[in-house]
Chain A
Amino acid sequence: MTTEAPTEDLGAATPAEQQPLSEVVIRFAGDSGDGMQITGTQFTSTSALVGNDLSTLPDFPAEIRAPAGTLPGVSAFQVRIADHDIHTPGDAPDVLVAMNPAALEVNLKDLEPNGVVILNTDEFTARNFKKAGLETDPREDGKLEGYRVFEVDLTTVTRRALEDSPLDVRAKDRCKNFFALGMCYWLFSRPMEPTVEWLQKKFAKKPEVAEANITCLRAGWNYCDITGLFQVKYEVESAALRPGTYRNINGNLALALGSVAASRKSGLPLFLGSYPITPASDLLHHLSTMKHYGVTTFQAEDEIAAVCAAIGASFGGALGMCSTSGPGLALKAEAINLALMVELPLVVFNIQRAGPSTGMPTKTEQSDLLQAMFGRNGEAPLPVIAPESPADCFWAALEACRVAVESMVPVVLLSDGYLANGAEPWRLPDLSELPDFPVEFHSEVEGFAPYSRDDETLARPWAIPGTAGLEHRIGGLEKQDLTGNVSYDPDNHQRMTDLRAEKVARVARRIAPLEVDGPTKGKLLVLGWGSTQGTIHGAVKAARAEGLEVSRAHLRWLNPFPSNLEEVLASFDQVLVPEMNGGQLAFLLRGTFLADVVSYPKVEGKPFYRHEIVTRIKQCLEVE
């Protein structure tokens, strides 16, 4: 918890004193049935309305229905609120709400020293200790030393608050998360009205449920007010956000919105072929609700059929796309190569997760970069783009679609689990900010050659079935230049290979040059890509605050690289490359530019902490 004045600290103030905080990270943790995701999202929405900048990250249990009270069954939601511009959900929570011993056990190790723990003591029973694999009561065995612990018999006080409610005991107990939320609202001086309204709307058909939850929310607030449990209330002022309309958005929803926007801006109907896979399935879910925008979603029989159907749709003149994660990308490789060979547009959303093989589906990683680059037979380059934040997924999707149709090429977009599920406020664009790229299919019969090319982009004409006089055949066999007939001619194969590569390389002419944040030359550049942007940004800021001279740049296009990348790399004595993989971008940079970059790989299935990168920066600069 970063306080305005470091001397002011939680618990050190006089009763009910209002204390300003610059930012705070709160983690709600409980059993998957405890409603922690709802609690977290409500706290988030309310904080948005208070005007805080914020960033959130849910942590779902790996198993769908792990036994209640066990470690694998723990579900958590982390939210960081601030009175200033922030880019990540924060490294370590300052406040942990733990609904049972398992939630405490799983999350305590992340808590900041001297952090606040709020416990539901009703769940701290011998039986639950056993379920959580604990030998002793963590309240008594010293585990909680160094933290400020607040014990609340949450189940008891919830039941007491609901004495008059017609609900049965089980339903009453389900309201305890709102009691806890009410307490947090008191502690962080949030208004209750938005949540009250939300509950009324959500349970319009079950007014007794709405009523019970509202009662608990208010009871939680009053409990703090009356008992004086916390002797201090905190206030996080609103951040100076750019004027505009905002909504909270996660990466997968942003990809869906970006895709539909691309469909409208190109004038092409959207066709998504997909096969359910964590953490990409939400993209399929979202687009399935957008049918009235002319969206077709096809849940295929497998990953291969999903991409093949998208290619078929592209052949017919649709904006064909598919969504998957690493193992699915592997299965799609041959079909993506077909799209590359027949030069049809295709957008492949790959929401990366920890691999190899099934790996850790719910954990994040950036380890499919080389798969996206090289995971196909033959010489098969294609454009690769990576969004840098949940909201940026919207823009990246739009850009990927645009390049795909302009260059008649499959494009891979690399998001990851962290972006997919993480959320942040998004200032909605003015519709005029969105680029138009209307697609015109080829219609000229005279002189039609399926593999002739646009002078600038080298794209071949998109001549769709149904156009009289343009009947032609395409396929995965090597094409003769211009005619597209099958050809085994050696010179032609060289030429076509070069043309396909050049077409991708030329995308660099239409993408923004790499921008350097900070001095454009110097001792150290931290170069990242994809979802690490927020953390790197924060780390570089922190290092600068300590007086270090360090610059930062972030790659959006991994293929082709922006045309000034080599020059930027050469302008720094050292280039530090943090990435959530074994050093894949570093490998590319070394191979492409013979640049001796400093690789900082991490594969723990979770994002970098800011302090980790700050430490590396210091190591590079040889300061303590």
Chain B
Amino acid sequence: MATDTTVLKKKDFQSDQEVRWCPGCGDYAILSALQTVMPELGIPKERLVVISGIGCSSRFPYYMNTFGFHTIHGRAPAIATGLKTSRPDLEVWVITGDGDALSIGGNHLIHALRRNVNLKILLFNNRIYGLTKGQYSPTSEVGKRTKSTPVGSIDTPFDPVSVALGAGASMVARSVDIFQKHLKETLRRVAEHSGSAFVEILQNCNIFNDGAFSYLTDKEQREAEGLYLEHGQPLVFGPEGARRGLRLDPTSLRLENVALGDGVEAEDCLVWDENRPDPALAFLLAQCRPPEYPTALGVLRRVERPTYDGAVVEQIAQQQERRGTGTLEELLYSGETWQVAADGSIRR
């Protein structure tokens, strides 16, 4: 019997397991946001499955009172693909981190996204390896000093959102662990999407990479550094009195960060259209970095395209329609067969 979804509360999604992240870790806020949003989705909780890889963030399924699978390093999208493809009735959420999804599991992430498997993939980006106690990650900035880069990292980092856009993800978003309202709203929107939805959640690891995003998350910075995307609205940001906007220079195809007023108005700025079929503008926005640019938060892309799991089901149904559902007899007694009779005579 399915659970009555009307009575579900946040606590119904909390498991009996003691949460074991470091005190102050950004993961707590993300867990809380998801546990808050889940009851609102109207989905019986037995139909929710949370799948993770390895890393601090990947402990997540243990704390959700749903079906959960804590798998192996980097492979969560592949395991989730198998589950969702064979069980399209389930809602499958993948929890991963920057190391899990972009280093060891990079291949699975991009392929799940290009196939458009109907998965919700939350990547907690703390720009560090936490569980293994502080090595640089594929999102760590050049020059980062960590245990494995004592004189500074020389690797060029990935921008997770750009990777997802490059892989052709049908929905891509970015949010921040402690921006609870924004995060919950992003999660709600993601839950509604049919197809792969990828969310980069900027997450503070207060033990090994404290303050990695303080340029954005510090109270006084939030307005100046955060560009909160709204579909159909111009790309404007900044506190009252210091409003700015992003304007597209048609000749260089670059975004210009301009101060509003003095003849430049919000109307002159690029109007955000998250449904644009081509990802070029989303890509430009994803690449916006401080200090030159604000950080784009919210939905960077949302387009409709057929889901992989849906197409698999459809193809099987089509084949069954055309050829019937088959019997074992038909299966085995197919191809070229011949009969040997008791007298040794042979017939085709």
Binding site for B on A (CB under 8 A): 45, 48-51, 194, 238, 240-248, 257, 260-261, 264, 269, 271, 273, 290-296, 298, 300-302, 304-305, 308-318, 320, 334-335, 338, 342, 427-429, 431, 434, 465-477, 485-486
Contact partner, A273, options B65, B67, B82, B326, Cβ 8 Å: B82
Is A301 in contact with B344, judged by CB distance below 8 angstroms?
A: no
Task: Pick from B31-39, B144-152, B198-206, B315-323 the stretch touching chain A.
Answer: B315-323
Q: Is residue B134 within 8 Å, beta carbon to beta carbon, of the partner chain? A: no
Is A315 in contact with B62, judged by CB distance below 8 angstroms?
A: no
Known contacts A45-B336, A296-B86; is-contact A243 B67 (Cβ 8 Å)? no
Is A302 in contact with B3, judged by CB distance below 8 angstroms?
A: no
Is B108 in contact with A305, judged by CB distance below 8 angstroms?
A: yes
Roughly how many angstroms separate A294 CA and B318 CA in the complex, as a whole number?
11
Is A309 in contact with B326, judged by CB distance below 8 angstroms?
A: no
Is A296 in contact with B339, judged by CB distance below 8 angstroms?
A: no
| 7 A-B interface contacts by CB (under 8 A) | A313-B87, A318-B86, A318-B87, A320-B82, A335-B75, A474-B68, A477-B70
Is B340 in contact with A242, judged by CB distance below 8 angstroms?
A: yes
Is B65 in contact with A471, judged by CB distance below 8 angstroms?
A: yes
Residues of A contacting B2 with CB < 8 Å?
468
Is B85 in contact with A485, judged by CB distance below 8 angstroms?
A: no
What 15 additional pairs, Cβ within 8 angstroms, besides A311-B82, A342-B69? A247-B336, A260-B331, A261-B331, A269-B86, A290-B326, A292-B319, A292-B323, A292-B326, A301-B78, A301-B111, A304-B78, A312-B82, A338-B72, A465-B83, A466-B46
Residues of A contacting B340 with CB < 8 Å?
51, 241-246, 427
Binary flags per residue of B307-346, CB closer than 8 Å to A gives 1, else 0: 0000010011001101111101101111111111110101
Is A466 in contact with B337, judged by CB distance below 8 angstroms?
A: no
Residues of B contacting A308 with CB < 8 Å?
71-72, 75, 78-79, 81-82, 108
Contact partner, B78, options A243, A309, A485, Cβ 8 Å: A309
Chain B: minimal CB distance from A286 (Å)? 11
Is B328 in contact with A261, judged by CB distance below 8 angstroms?
A: yes
Residues of A contacting B323 with CB < 8 Å?
292
Chain B: minimal CB distance from A296 (Å)? 6
Residues of B contacting A305 with CB < 8 Å?
75, 78, 81, 107-108, 111
Q: Is residue B90 within 8 Å, beta carbon to beta carbon, of the partner chain? A: yes
Roughly how many angstroms separate A476 CA and B340 CA in the complex, as a whole number?
53
Residue of A nearest to B111 (CB): A301
Contact partner, A466, options B47, B81, B108, B341, Cβ 8 Å: B47
Q: Is residue B244 within 8 Å, beta carbon to beta carbon, of the partner chain? A: no
Is B82 in contact with A294, judged by CB distance below 8 angstroms?
A: no
Residue of A nearest to B316 (CB): A291
Binary flags per residue of B56-81, CB closer than 8 Å to A gives 1, else 0: 00000110111111111001001111
Complex interface residues of chain B between 250 and 302 (CB less than 8 A to chain A): none
Q: Is residue B45 within 8 Å, beta carbon to beta carbon, of the partner chain? A: yes
Roughly how many angstroms separate A273 CA and B312 CA in the complex, as a whole number?
13
Q: Is residue B132 within 8 Å, beta carbon to beta carbon, of the partner chain? A: no
Is B46 in contact with A465, judged by CB distance below 8 angstroms?
A: yes
The total of interchain contacts (Cβ-Cβ below 8 angstroms) comes to 213
Known contacts A246-B340, A292-B324, A313-B83; is-contact A468 B78 (Cβ 8 Å)? no
4 nearest CB pairs, A to B = A475-B70, A312-B82, A309-B82, A308-B78
Is B79 in contact with A312, judged by CB distance below 8 angstroms?
A: yes
Is A238 in contact with B90, judged by CB distance below 8 angstroms?
A: no
Contact partner, B346, options A50, A292, A335, A427, Cβ 8 Å: A50
Known contacts A300-B78, A428-B332, A470-B46; is-contact A312 B325 (Cβ 8 Å)? no
Binary flags per residue of B1-25, CB closer than 8 Å to A gives 1, else 0: 1110000000000010100000000
Residues of A contacting B328 with CB < 8 Å?
260-261, 264, 431, 434
Known contacts A269-B86, A474-B68, A486-B62; is-contact A315 B15 (Cβ 8 Å)? no
Residues of A contacting B108 with CB < 8 Å?
301, 304-305, 308
Is A248 in contact with B82, judged by CB distance below 8 angstroms?
A: no
Roughly how many angstroms separate A354 CA and B84 CA in the complex, as a whole number?
36
Residues of A contacting B329 with CB < 8 Å?
431
Is A471 in contact with B45, judged by CB distance below 8 angstroms?
A: yes
Known contacts A305-B107, A311-B82, A473-B69; is-contact A245 B339 (Cβ 8 Å)? yes
Residues of A contacting B332 with CB < 8 Å?
257, 261, 428-429, 431
Is B339 in contact with A246, judged by CB distance below 8 angstroms?
A: yes
Roughly how many angstroms separate A334 CA and B78 CA in the complex, as a whole number?
14
Is A51 in contact with B346, judged by CB distance below 8 angstroms?
A: yes
Residues of A contacting B161 with CB < 8 Å?
none
Roughly how many angstroms separate A489 CA and B137 CA in the complex, as a whole number?
31
Q: Is residue B216 within 8 Å, beta carbon to beta carbon, of the partner chain? A: no
Roughly how many angstroms separate A48 CA and B335 CA in the complex, as a whole number?
14
Residue of B nearest to A295 (CB): B316
Residue of B nearest to A319 (CB): B86
Residues of B contacting A314 with CB < 8 Å?
82
Q: Is residue B219 within 8 Å, beta carbon to beta carbon, of the partner chain? A: no
Is A290 in contact with B331, judged by CB distance below 8 angstroms?
A: yes
Roughly how many angstroms separate A475 CA and B79 CA in the complex, as a whole number?
12
Contact partner, B87, options A194, A261, A466, Cβ 8 Å: A466
Roughly how many angstroms separate A468 CA and B337 CA in the complex, as a whole number?
48
Roughly how many angstroms separate A298 CA and B77 CA in the complex, as a whole number?
14
Roughly how many angstroms separate A266 CA and B204 CA in the complex, as a whole number?
48
Q: Is residue B102 within 8 Å, beta carbon to beta carbon, of the partner chain? A: no
Is B3 in contact with A468, judged by CB distance below 8 angstroms?
A: yes
Is B46 in contact with A476, judged by CB distance below 8 angstroms?
A: no
Residue of A nearest to B60 (CB): A473
Known contacts A51-B346, A309-B78; is-contact A469 B86 (Cβ 8 Å)? no
Residue of A nearest to B4 (CB): A468
Roughly how many angstroms separate A471 CA and B49 CA in the complex, as a whole number?
9
Residue of A nearest to B45 (CB): A471
Residues of A contacting B326 with CB < 8 Å?
290, 292-293
Known contacts A312-B83, A315-B79; is-contact A338 B331 (Cβ 8 Å)? no
Roughly how many angstroms separate A48 CA and B348 CA in the complex, as a whole number?
10
